[in-house]
Amino acid sequence: MAERGDWEEGSGRKGTVLYYRGSLKSCNYSCSYCPFGKRKLSQAQLEADKTALFRFVQEMEQNRDFAGGIQIVPYGEALIHPYYWEGLARLSRHPGIQAVGAQSNFSFSAEKMLERYRKRGGIPGKLRLWGTFHPDMVSLEEFLAACRELSRQKILYCVGAVGVPENLALLRRLREELPRRVYLWINRMDGLGREYTLQEAQAFQELDGYFPLQLQTHRAHVRRCRGLFVEADGRVKACNLCRRTIGSLYDGPGELGRLLLQEQREKGCDRRYCSCYLAYCNRIDIEELRPFQPYPAFRIPQYFQEAHEGLFVVK
C-alpha cells in the first residue's frame, strides 16, 4: 500500500496518475444508455482532437521530471483512431512514465494498432489497456477474440462489464473463457433502480472479488487521494468528478509541478463522495486497492503484472 510519503509533491512519483480526456465525443458502438453512441465526428473535429492530444503529449515530453502513469479516459472510443496509438507510443518513451493506457471497447484491430504503436517506438511493456465488454454490441466470441489477440501480443489488460443481473450467465462464461491471468471487474449498475439482492451481489463477487468496493460509499478525502485530471484544452481538475478548475497545464513551465502540489489539489475537490472507480481508485487509504498498486487506475493486479513481466523484455 502506498504511504503518504510516496507522494512527492511537485513532480509526481510512482503511483501518480494523470488522466487525460480529449475533445472526442463519439463511438463506433451505440449502447442505448450512452450519449456518445454512433455519434460521428467531422474531419475537423477529429483534427482538433488530434491536435489537443499531441499538445498534451508534447507538454508531457517537456516535463522530464514527471514520474507516474497516464490513463486516457475518453468520452467514446479513442483507440479506433491511429493518432491515439501514436500519442501513447510517445508517452511510453518518457523515462518517468511507467505505464500508459486507455479505456476502450476493444473494437480496434490489435494487430494493426500495435504494429503502429511499435513502429512509433512505443514500449509494449508499459501498455495497460482497459476493455469493457458490451454484450448488446458485440458477441462474447468477438470480444474474447480481441482479448486473445492482446494476450498473444503479450499486452497487459483488464476487462470488465456492468453488473447487469440478466447478464450473469454470459459474464460467467466470459470469466471461464478469459485467460486466467486477466482480471475481470464488474461495475455497479447505476440504472438498476433498486439495490442488488444478496444473491446477485454474491454472484458478482464470485466473478470479481473486489465487487464489494463498488457497493461501498467512499466519502471524499482529498488529502488521501492522488491523481490529476486534464481536459483537452489543458484545464486541470483534481479528478474526473470535480468541476472546479485548479489551473491549466499550458500556463507555462513548471505548471504541472505546481498543480501536483497537495495544496493545489485540495482546492480542487468539490465533491462529497468519490462515487466512481476512476475517482476512488486514487485513494491511498483504501486497503482493498493494495493489490492494484502502484497504479490502480489501470485496474490490473500487481501479481498479474509481475507474472507477465517475465514474458517479454521491457525496453
Residues at the interface with ligand SF4 (CB under 6 A): 27, 29-31, 34, 36-37, 76-77, 105, 134, 220-222, 225, 238-239, 241-242, 269, 271, 274, 279, 282
Write down the least CB distance from residue 30 to ligand SF4, Å. Answer: 6
Q: How far is CA 150 from its chain centroid?
A: 17
Phi, psi of 275 (to 5 degrees): -95, 15
- Least separation in angstroms between residue 202's CB and ligand SF4 is 26
Name the minimum Å distance from CB 70 to ligand SF4: 17
- Rounded least distance, CB 264 to ligand SF4, Å: 11
Task: Decide whether 37 or 257 has the Cβ nearer to ligand SF4.
Answer: 37
Burial 264-285 (b: 16+ CB within 10 A, else e): bbeebbebeebebbbbbbbbbe
DSSP for 101-166, written as a single string: EEEE-S-S-HHHHHHHHHHTT--GGGEEEEEE--TTTS-HHHHHHHHHHHHHTT-EEEEEEE--GG
Q: Is the peptide bond before 294 cis (omega within 30 degrees of 0)?
A: yes
Whichever of 8 and 285 has its CB closer to ligand SF4, that residue is: 285
Choose among 241, 311, 276, 292: nearest CA to 69.
292
- Which contacts (CB < 8 Å, 24+ apart) does range 2-5 have? 2/226, 2/284, 2/293, 2/294, 3/284, 4/284
Q: How far is the CB of 238 from ligand SF4 (least distance, A)?
A: 4
Residue 210 CB: number of other CB atoms within 10 A?
Answer: 17
Q: Nearest approach, Cβ of 54 to ligand SF4 (angstroms)?
A: 22
End-to-end CA gap in the chain: 27
Q: Which is nearer to ligand SF4, 64 or 221 (CB)?
A: 221
Task: Look at residues 302, 299, 128, 104 and name the one whose alpha carbon lies nearest to residue 213.
Answer: 299
Measured from the CB atom, the residue of 186 and 201 that comes closer to ligand SF4 is 186
Q: Which is nearer to ligand SF4, 53 or 274 (CB)?
A: 274
Q: From the CB of 175, what's the least distance to ligand SF4, in Å?
A: 20
Taking the least distance from each CB to ligand SF4, the nearer of 55 and 267 is 267
Instruction: Identify which of residues 37 and 82 has a Cβ nearer to ligand SF4 in the complex.
Output: 37
